[in-house]
Amino acid sequence: SVAYLNGEFLTLEHATVPVLDRGFLFGDGVYEVIPVYAGKTFRFSSHISRLHKSLSAILMNFELPESDWLALCEGLIERNEFENASIYLQVTRGSYIDRHHDIPTLGEPTVFAMISPLPPVQKDWQASDIKSYSVITEDDIRWQRCDIKAITLLANCMLKQKALESGADDTILVRNGEASEATSSNLFIVRDGVIITPPLSEHLLAGVTREFILTLAQRHGIPFEERAIPEHELELADEIWLTSSTKEIRPVIKVNDVTIGDGVAGPVWRQMYQYYQELKE
Ligand code: PDD
């Protein structure tokens, strides 16, 4: 596929960065994953404003006008002719002659983007078309700034791998007895018709999908709360969902071998998923 690197469109195989790039040496960079439906980016401004927040949080004084980011992403969409896709966009601090922990004054950042296909938008979807997840819970071994979309994802990968090795699909992370999010998605539960998601904090990412679901809930009069979810409450939930730009809204039907609700995707999920699909077109 055609990718983007530092001002140039080129095939992915030809996109290479120097070994002295601080992204390679220190994991010194941030990223975004932006969905594309019917050739158009979805919730673009929210992704770019989060990217700028992440950059400023890691002390990188680098911002482009949203229209420049859009031109970059549209360049990828046109060149690859994907209808539905996700764009991976990464900015690292760039290359410097020596390896120093000191954060250097910003030179040229490395801006990289690639695109990969997502499944087609289905108008007449059945609940059985959407894969339900089983999850485990684990202590959150990540750092204290999970609100930054940093490229340093080793802990996330290890926590995800734990789930796969125990025959589950993902891991819900627990800190101080509270469930915060999963390894690459936000967490929602439903109890007695009320949608509940943990409040924003430095322990989880401010998901664009999370925000969008709260907006949809508000718009359609579905009650919701942003409050802490103690780990033990997961088993008591009628429904559990994981949300992200690529997973959209994923029903969870098992937590540590305990069946959630009726063991199938629930009615509030079905309604919310429908609202979400209607807005993708
Ligand atoms: N992950 N929490 C974490 C830790 C994430 O990595 C993500 C997204 C989310 C959901 O955010 P959003 O709704 O804005 O996609 C929550 C992306 C998709 C990834 O790493 O591939």
The residues spanned by each domain of the chain are: 2-117, 127-280
User: Does pLDDT of 280 surpass 90?
Assistant: no
| Closest atom, ligand 1, to C-alpha of 88 | 21
Mean pLDDT score, 277-281: 86
Of the candidates 149, 160, 162, 280, the residue annotated as catalytic is: 149
Q: What is the CATH number of domain 2-117?
A: 3.30.470.10
**Contact present, 32 and 41 (Cβ < 8 Å):** no
Ligand 1 center–CA 8 separation, angstroms = 27
Ligand 1 center–CA 244 separation, angstroms = 5
For 213-262, give the DSSP string: HHHHHHHTT--EEE--EEGGGGGG-SEEEEEETTTEEEEEEEETTEEPTT
**Contact present, 233 and 240 (Cβ < 8 Å):** no
Q: Give the model confidence (pLDDT) of 55-114 as tens digits.
A: 999 999 999 999 999 999 999 999 998 999 999 999 999 999 999 999 999 899 999 999
Residues with a CB atom less than 6 Å from ligand 1: 33, 181, 184-186, 205, 207-210, 243-246
Q: Is 8 exposed, middle or buried (0-12, 13-18, 19+ CB in 10 A)?
A: exposed
Is 149 considered catalytic here? Answer: yes
| pLDDT mean across residues, the chain | 97
Mean pLDDT score, 217-246: 98
Is ipTM beyond 0.95?
Answer: yes
Report the C-alpha gap between 239 and 244 in whole angstroms. 17
User: Does pLDDT of 121 surpass 90?
Assistant: no
Neighbour tally for 179: CB within 10 Å: 25
The gap from C-alpha 53 to its chain's centroid, in whole angstroms, comes to: 15
Mean pLDDT score, 26-51: 98
Q: Which two tokens stand for residue 172?
A: 């819900």
pLDDT computed for residue 183 by the predictor: 98
Within 100-147, residue ranges assigned H as helices are none
Please give the share of the chain, as a percent, with pLDDT higher than 70. Answer: 100
Nearest residue (CA) to ligand 1, atom 2: 185
* Helices 44-57 and 208-219: angle between axes, nearest 10 degrees: 140
Pick the CATH number of 127-280 from 2.60.120.10, 3.20.20.105, 3.40.1000.10, 3.20.10.10: 3.20.10.10
pLDDT computed for residue 71 by the predictor: 98
